Structure 1
Amino acid sequence: MENTTMRLDKFLKVSRLIKRRTLAKEVADQGRIEINGVQAKASSNVKTGDELTIRFGQKVVKVKVENLRESTKKEDAAGMYTMISETRVNE
């Protein structure tokens, strides 16, 4: 059964946008992730259709959540989201 929502840190790990859940939690807790333009916490819920903006150092990645799965194989992980944009930021 498909979930309707999933914790942000878990989505990031399962989709492999961020490799480890602890790291996903850190990034979220540092205020570097937004869901639909609103700053998110690790415990925030994501649902299909949400847009995530994630700041990794010099890079800002924007993705759209396509589906939520409890677990996924490496080759299927990219199907959980669509890359909208990836921009470099000079800080």
Structure 2
Amino acid sequence: MRLDKFLKVSRLIKRRTVAKDVSDQGRVLLNGREAKPAADVKPGDELEIQFGQRIVTVRVERLSESAKKEDAEGMYTVLKEEYRKPDGPAFP
């Protein structure tokens, strides 16, 4: 499944166009590497997504072409969530 579609279906990001823009800006890492919107996502992959000062790391658990709101959270597991100071390293 494409990265931008996974981000949208899993509801990590609300709109696919926003998911595409975020990954085009280099704010999404797939298994430690910068990922383009068309990157292939598989179960077991780790995604690191930067939302402003917040960085969320998730593991892909399963894929689905569409998901209800209740089912979307089961598509990933949050591994880590950290916040960065605007001009410094991450802090918990």
TM band (smaller chain): over 0.9
> 1:3 matched to which residue of 2?
none
Task: Give, as a single letter, the amino acid of the residue that structure 1 aligns with 2:60.
Answer: V
Map of 1:19 onto structure 2:
14
Identity of aligned residues (%): 64
CA distance in 2, matches of 1:23, 1:90: 24
Give, in whole Å, the separation in 2 of the partners of 1:57 and 1:45: 24
Q: Which residue of 2 aligns with 1:82?
A: 77
The counterpart of 1:67, out of the listed 38, 59, 62, is 62
TM score, norm. by length of structure 2: 0.92
Q: Tell me the TM-score normalized by structure 1.
A: 0.93
State how far apart, in whole Å, the 2-side matches of 1:38 and 1:71 are.
26
Pair member with larger Rg:
2
Pairwise CA distance, 1:77: 0.2
Instruction: Give ranges in structure 1 of 5+ residues lacking alignment.
Output: 1-5
Unaligned runs of at least 5 residues, structure 2: 87-92
Instruction: Name the Cα RMSD after superposition.
Output: 0.4
Alignment pair present for 1:35 and 2:19: no
Determine helix, strand or coil for the equivalent of 2:18: helix
Give 1:90 deviation, angstroms. 1.1
Q: In 2, distance between residues paired with 1:89 and 1:78?
A: 25
How many pairs are equivalent?
86
